[in-house]
Copies of this chain bind each other. A is one copy, B any other.
């Protein structure tokens, strides 16, 4: 049997502690599966004295991740610190320079520095694994970089943020407002004290940027993503969606179009009877559509210490098995030096169906005007729903919902502008894109 693989863990929060504990608890089966042992020989974390439920006395403690990275004590640098720069980036750069393989769960860091790190690791023949960075325990990175060789993907989309999905699920199942669900999610530890990153879509965008590169062979372009969060989704939208046969999900979507590649994160209407429509609470899911295989959908836990640790340990085990340590596949599926520049398709050219919810003054001719503005902009309507008065009074504002056939974002924006100019609307209209989904 080969020498054990020596790993150094940087960051001993929930995930890091889970990784250390599971490596200890499952040492025997891991050794049987990998043909060699895996030992934690180095650790770097802020608080050395904290009880993490695992005996780390056999590991050497380092003051900084970078010191551990360059020491002779480890073969693999496992980065579980977080943050797109700082000690996480310093540690990974130092590790690659020093010839250590790297495993990371850090999507923000990869979204910003992924191509640079991929070039370095491939240049040096080192492995850079990051299964846990996207969709937690779901093996989507392995699937995209190893199982899609025969495929040219056309679209990748998914529910990539458990906090946002939990809130949308609870709003529907318990008839609660966005604010109440967010407060509950914070109480349960599903949402941070400052939840902006999760509910406004940036976290989803980081993960999407990585999936886009894997799908389309382009450089990671996390700054070029159209982003809308879920904070303005109301219970009224959720009810209307249901009535029309849809459910609202925060999706990240990357799609090849005639004018480039769309990357967009926004609330989306998906069919009620679709599989992705059943993905509830903190569960994540990723769908991949490609020419050869057709459609795949993978779902599972998107976060949590153990589920994330499962992905991290899978990455470590792949390194242990591939001794003397060859990258089975390039970091982003093809050589980092051959990744093409990202060609952005503008959001205004996005084609699809739209749900438009408007509260209008109850005046003669308002509906005719709305319909005329849609027609002027070549928008054909699939359905029109009028929801009676808002509060039961005669002459009180009425809710009108339009569902369009396929049109473009620019047509919809122009039509909405025209409607706004007429002054018939009581408040800002709600526009939610409809996504075909299996």
Contacts and interface: CB of A to CB of B under 8 A. Distances in A.
Chain copies in the assembly? Answer: 2
Given A151-B310, A275-B275, A293 B297 contact: no
A335 B321 CA distance: 12
A298 interface: yes
A245 to B, nearest CB: 14
Given A33-B149, A313-B150, A314-B146, A292 B306 contact: yes
A389 to B, nearest CB: 33
A171 interface: no
Contacts of A277: 278
Interface residues of A, number: 60
A20 to B, nearest CB: 12
A131 interface: yes
A32 interface: yes
Contacts of A131: 147
Contacts of A330: 33, 35
SS of A interface (majority):
mixed
Nearest to A271: B278
Contacts of A297: 297-300
A356 interface: no
Interface in A154-185: none
Contact of A313 (B30, B149, B291): B149
Top 8 nearest A-B pairs (CB, nearest first) are: A149-B317, A150-B313, A293-B310, A296-B300, A139-B147, A137-B293, A292-B310, A147-B314
15 contacts: A30-B149, A137-B294, A147-B314, A149-B316, A150-B314, A292-B310, A292-B313, A293-B311, A294-B306, A296-B300, A297-B297, A318-B328, A322-B328, A326-B326, A328-B328
Interface of A: 22, 26, 29-30, 32-35, 131, 137-139, 142-143, 146-152, 273-275, 277-279, 290-301, 304, 306-307, 309-311, 313-314, 316-318, 321-322, 326, 328-330, 333-335, 338
